[in-house]
Amino acid sequence: MKHLCAATDLPESESRGFETEGLKLLAVRRQGQVFVYKNRCPHRGIALEWQPDRFLDDSASLIQCATHGALFLVENGECVAGPCEGQSLTAIECREDAEGIWIMLPDD
């Protein structure tokens, strides 16, 4: 497992982008749980954010692609509206403990 950040670096209902070992990621905290995905829209393979660390829609309840407006569920990355509806973001296994947020990279 690789350390991503301290738990306090990802407040409730907020998102943050990371790059580790050449892999671009996004993390979201929702109802106390952390979700991590590859920062890559399934529609065009482009990064999702419209500004640094800005991945959520105005209600902070869905992940939104800045380019085409696709909307993804925070809990499982499924696209529920937009050009890639029915596809999903690629989830990255993660866990949280007293030391912070940890991820399992695909090659680990």
Q: What is the DSSP string of 2-46?
A: EEEE-GGGS-TT-EEEEEETTEEEEEEEETTEEEEEES--TTTS-
| Bridge pairing between strands 79-81 and 15-20 | unpaired
Domains and their CATH numbers in the chain: 2-104 (2.102.10.10)
Chain segment 77-93, per-residue pLDDT in tens: 999 999 999 999 999 99
Alpha carbon dihedral 80, 21, 13, 53, in 10-degree steps, equals: -90
The overall longest dimension of the chain from CA atoms, in Å, is 39
pLDDT of amino acid 6: 97
Q: Whole-prediction pTM value?
A: 0.94
